[in-house]
Structure 1
């Protein structure tokens, strides 16, 4: 097994030395590093990086300081430290990388470090994969169907559902029979932003923040608006059918990917920090970067997820659309990986599968083929497919569970979600516990 991270042994896990070959792959990394710090020794760790590896001075970014996060992440000669997560995004000169490796291995206040990934929402072709050897994608759109038009997909599409009043996805998770609405619960969707003028969503947006330099939270892509609609679209949309699982949830829209569909790990971490500061009970991330078979999860994102769970919040993420192993960051043990189902409740051919590695399993499945939801004006609605569409179904279910049991911890919410799933006659590595169900 290989890992793209390096650092010290913690909690019985060995974080292996970085495979330096991955740093040579085109268009995979930003050139900066994510550094996981001991929360009690963050200042000492940053000082060690500065003195031993020439890492520039760090500026602290609190969760609510979105503008500061954008400014700092944009400047190559400044490091961003997120104290609530215990993570820093640092720049380091190429000739200082070995010094960074040494500092991460020897300094007790530094737990791990790894290259910061570039991430994308746009569909990446097989040719791109051959060029880069590693093609991070944050994608989920109608092109998935075009690339996977097979007998298996035809079977996944399944029988016709009557969607005159509720989308087939809401019927499958039984949201059409649930009396809970998500009232008073915050759901954060970290994506390409939101159409702040959408007639179905505008009145319930509790907070927005953009972590993309030079771009407002206004969604110029559509992906983020679609995911927000599935998680928390209204009970009475401008046009039927209803498509939102938790119709009275309060919406937090964090823009971590640009209108062109690109972003970085640092922007995602900034979005997570912001969502926590705003009181989100669930963070939905319909995004993922493909990993190689046998590749370990990111220790930085895993530890961040553990700290988020300890704060009372669950993270759900898309398993991925390349049909391979569960993507980053959904392959982290403390992040729920969501697979996509078609209308026959069979796993979609494009949906990633689990591996026999810690965290690399599918946790749960949800509707992800031909899903109708909100879309930026003037189109208003659109039907697309992918594990990105399955993920906000699960986020909406978690919102309803949090409303039902306001005092539940994040592990308790996860337990109720998994135990309440509808078992499917398919391998757990494809569908996890089964089809997510509303309480």
Structure 2
């Protein structure tokens, strides 16, 4: 497998679940997009409410979808709205959304967020990341924008492809060994669709979907790849970083 092979791939046959703030499908930048799923998760007292309806709570998920679609235009996208207008959520909401996405047959879960790496959150995240591993479902996650060495879930589980931002506009992605956050992609001063208009953003949230898009291209050519094999191939194909 080479970068030349990936250049001709489109993500066809790959299903990507975007766990985020929702997707604004009416935005002109997403013209022609039909979501495979459009699901919203919310807490109502002690209960979890799941509705087959969407929209974007604040613009973040729309940006993520656009970045992925720009790289993997023939991949199928699904929106699993787990973040509110402040980009906050609950562990149980993310858990249920991830499990539903897996049950509905998604190949990649894009998680452009991170939960504090506290011990009390380990098992709730480990439950569904382990399930993803066993199902051969790939997870791509962002990391802390303050310090990539700060532990966060799900990014610090070894089965997850975790991405930090870098200023790499001319490169698909890079690899830096010796860190739980192994991958880097362009996430600096990115112009993205946002709440009916456009916005310039910076963050690992916007680097992760670039890697998701390239991973979708890879899986469209090699759908047989396991989680560990795909991650190893992403390492091999990446440009080295000091």
Same fold judged by TM-score > 0.5?
yes
Offset from partner CA, 1:74-96 (integer Å, 9 cap, x none)? xxxxxxxxxxxxxxxxxxxxxxx
Provide TM-score, normalisation by structure 2.
0.83
User: Which residue does the alignment assign to 2:205?
Assistant: 388
| Structure 2 residue 188 is matched with structure 1 residue 363 | no
Q: Distance in 2 between matches of 1:389 and 1:397?
A: 13
* Contact 2:24 2:62 (8 Å CA) reproduced: yes
Contact 2:159/2:227 (CA < 8 Å) preserved in 1? no
**Alpha-carbon distance change, 185 to 304 in structure 1, aligned in 2, over 3 angstroms:** same
1:307 corresponds to which of 131, 141, 144: 131
**Among 202, 214, 217, the residue aligned to 1:397:** 214
Q: 1:212: which partner in 2?
A: 42
Secondary structure of 1:260's match? coil
Residue from 98, 111, 115 that aligns with 1:285 = 111
1:342 — aligned with what? 167
Aligned to 1:39: none
List runs of 5+ in structure 2 lacking aligned partners: 44-48, 171-175
**What secondary structure is seen at the aligned counterpart in 2 of 1:188?**
strand
The Cα shift of 1:298 comes to 1.4
Q: Contact between 1:246 and 1:400, CA under 8 Å: does it hold in 2? A: yes
The answer to whether the 8 Å contact 2:91/2:121 transfers is: no
1:24-48 C-alpha deviation (Å, 9 max, x unpaired) = xxxxxxxxxxxxxxxxxxxxxxxxx
More strand by share: 2
**8 Å contact kept, 1:290–1:322:** no
Aligned length: 226
SS in 2 for 1:366: strand
Q: What's the secondary structure of 1:187's corresponding residue?
A: strand
TM-fit CA distance, 1:302: 2.5
Aligned position for 1:373 = 192
Distance 1:185 1:420 in 2: 20
Flag the 1:303–1:261 CA change in 2: closer, same or farther, 3 A: closer
Aligned-residue offset at 1:282: 0.8
CA RMSD, 1 decimal: 2.8
Partner residue of 2:7 out of 178, 186, 202: 178
Deviation track 1:132-190 (CA, whole Å, cap 9, x = no partner) reads xxxxxxxxxxxxxxxxxxxxxxxxxxxxxxxxxxxxxxxxxx79x81111112111110
Of 52, 63, 73 in structure 2, the residue corresponding to residue 226 of structure 1 is 63
Structure 1 gaps of 5+ residues are 1-173, 233-243, 346-352, 427-439
Question: Residues 7-406 of structure 1 correspond to what in structure 2 (within 5 A)?
Answer: 178-201=7-30, 202-213=32-43, 216-232=53-69, 244-291=70-117, 298-323=122-147, 324-343=149-168, 361-377=180-196, 379=197, 381-406=198-223
Q: In 2, distance between residues paired with 1:185 and 1:195?
A: 21
Residues 382-417 of structure 1 deviation map (CA, whole Å, 9 limit, x = unaligned)? 220101011101111111111001222222222211
Change in CA separation of 1:308 and 1:344 when aligned onto 2, cut-off 3 Å? closer
In the alignment, the residues of structure 2 paired with residue 335 and residue 266 of structure 1 have an alpha-carbon distance, to the nearest angstrom, of 19
* Bigger Cα Rg: 1
Inter-CA distance 344–204: structure 2 relative to 1 (3 Å threshold) = closer
For residue 195 of structure 1, give the secondary structure of its aligned residue in structure 2.
Answer: coil
C-alpha deviations, 1:218-269, integer Å up to 9, x for none? 103001110111111xxxxxxxxxxx11111111111001133221011111
Please state how far the C-alpha of 1:297 moved relative to its aligned partner.
7.7
The structural deviation recorded for 1:334 is 2.0
Q: Which structure exhibits the higher relative contact order, with contacts defined as CA atoms closer than 8 Å and separated by 6 or more residues?
A: 2
The alpha carbon displacement at 1:296 in A equals 9.5
